[in-house]
Structure 1
Amino acid sequence: MATYKLYYFNGRGRGEAARLVFAAAGQKYEDIRFEGEQWPSHKSEMPLGQLPVLEFNGVKLPQSISIARFLAKQFNLAGKDNFEQAQVDAVVDTIVDLVNKFIAVRFEKDEAKKQELGKTFFAEEAPKQLKNLETLAKLYGKSGPFFVGNQLTWADLLFYDVGESLLGVEANALDNFTFLKQNRAEVAKLPKIAEYLKNRPATPF
């Protein structure tokens, strides 16, 4: 029987997409969470000296998106065929574009500069990328609440998590994006996801 261990910090961050896939699939795994002071003594155990890492049957796999994509394929959450999988990947790549712009805001140390970057991000970059996501949903979602093929995929789970981070900084970030708000609501209502969200540890990130 396959065994899964997920190594990450005690937070949502880049490990949460994999956890959401596990939750949606009802798959058991070891959720190994390092506190900050524990990490230096484990860093050398990881292939690239970074987290998250998935250990599958004793072999470690780095890179958050690769981990989530692998798990989605394992549990039939990646799209029904090769072209649907490519559509899911296009949505995911667009979410990653959004995240990469957002990271500059989240990790800016200078508070005044952070405020300025945040204003610009939520006024200009976020609406552009969120509109791109709605455009893809119209193309691929078959008028349903999910991004691709009118069924749950890991793209929906990834956006649920990224949306939580956006809304944590700017509560009105999705107000002009009806599909994206509905998409997150539908994901949150899924029984296995609702159960996971209710019971997961409360963490600051």
Structure 2
Amino acid sequence: MTYHLAYMNLRGRGEPVRWVLKALDVSFTEERIDVLTQWLSRKNEFEWGQTPVLMVDGVQLHQTTTICRYLGEKHHLASTDLWNATRQQEVVEAFHDVSFDFSLAFTARIKQDETLKNNSLEKARKRLLEIVLILESRITDQGWVLSHDMTWVDVFLAAYLESYSAYFPEILEGVSKTQALMECVMALPVIKAWLKIRPHWSSLEDPQNFL
């Protein structure tokens, strides 16, 4: 089985997929599409007109959460308890919903619409503060979300937490279990190695220039 990830030259919604692929220690190739110079001319290559896309033996698989869930279940990094897996998915979808506001802010920045950018970022910040409190309540004594062992959900959430906290460090205040989960995933040798070599933030999404 071969995997090829196509995403823009950003972290965004592609970063959780990268982390899950790394955590699984499966071989994959990646193509980074320049969002300013290549995306519009290549958009129609993708069935849903969006990325990330994971090519699985040449077949396109779309949507970040769908890709990560498939990988987790395929490679035995998923909860086998249907109820717990379903409640994990609640948290996953809530985090992914926030990425919509970040996408709006990102687009607004390209269009130099400061009002929309700031409003979208503030909406994301407030929602994240609410979501992280719920996440905190669902982390077990073993340190994982509704599981005794790490699943793809933990890796997915850690990737988003690492990115979102670069914009809003306060989302990790007072949630020790959530912070510990993120740090445990980041300490995995394969993730630790990735963090050392991954491309720096795109200038379009760099928190230092964005806020």
Q: Which TM-score tier does this pair reach, normalised by the shorter chain?
A: 0.7 to 0.9
Q: Which residue of 2 aligns with 1:194?
A: 192
Distance 1:157 1:48 in 2: 25
Distance 2:41 2:150 in 1: 38
Cα drift, residue 116 of structure 1: 5.3
Aligned alpha-carbon RMSD (Å): 2.2
- After superposition, residues 5-84 of structure 1 pair within 5 angstroms as 5-36=4-35, 37-84=37-84
Q: Kindly indicate whether the alpha-carbon contact (under 8 Å) linking 1:97 and 1:129 is maintained by their aligned counterparts in 2.
A: no
Structure 1 residues 85 and 189: CA distance shift in structure 2, 3 A: same
Distance 1:95 1:163 in 2: 9
- After superposition, residues 122-137 of structure 1 pair within 5 angstroms as 122=125, 124-137=126-139
Greater displacement, 14-23 / 85-94: 85-94
Verify: 1:156 aligned to 2:158, yes or no. no
Q: Kindly indicate whether the alpha-carbon contact (under 8 Å) linking 1:88 and 1:153 is maintained by their aligned counterparts in 2.
A: no
Q: Kindly indicate whether the alpha-carbon contact (under 8 Å) linking 1:98 and 1:129 is maintained by their aligned counterparts in 2.
A: no
Cα drift, residue 107 of structure 1: 4.5
Cα drift, residue 82 of structure 1: 2.8
TM-score, normalised with respect to structure 1 = 0.85
Cα drift, residue 54 of structure 1: 1.0
Q: Kindly indicate whether the alpha-carbon contact (under 8 Å) linking 2:101 and 2:121 is maintained by their aligned counterparts in 1.
A: no
Verify: 1:182 aligned to 2:180, yes or no. yes
- How many residues matched? 199
Distance 1:9 1:157 in 2: 21
Distance 1:105 1:38 in 2: 20
Deviations 1:16-50 (A, max 9, x none): 11111110011011111111212233222211111
Distance 2:108 2:42 in 1: 27
- After superposition, residues 88-99 of structure 1 pair within 5 angstroms as 88-99=88-99
Distance 1:52 1:125 in 2: 23
Distance 1:6 1:89 in 2: 22
Cα drift, residue 3 of structure 1: 0.7
Deviations 1:81-113 (A, max 9, x none): 433422322221232244345545554443255
Q: Kindly indicate whether the alpha-carbon contact (under 8 Å) linking 2:6 and 2:52 is maintained by their aligned counterparts in 1.
A: yes
Q: Give unmatched runs, 5+ long, in structure 2.
A: 206-211
Deviations 1:136-191 (A, max 9, x none): 22xxx2x1221131221122122212212322222222112111111111111111
Q: Kindly indicate whether the alpha-carbon contact (under 8 Å) linking 1:188 and 1:194 is maintained by their aligned counterparts in 2.
A: yes
Distance 2:6 2:123 in 1: 34
Distance 1:16 1:31 in 2: 12
Structure 1 residues 180 and 167: CA distance shift in structure 2, 3 A: same
TM-score, normalised with respect to structure 2 = 0.83
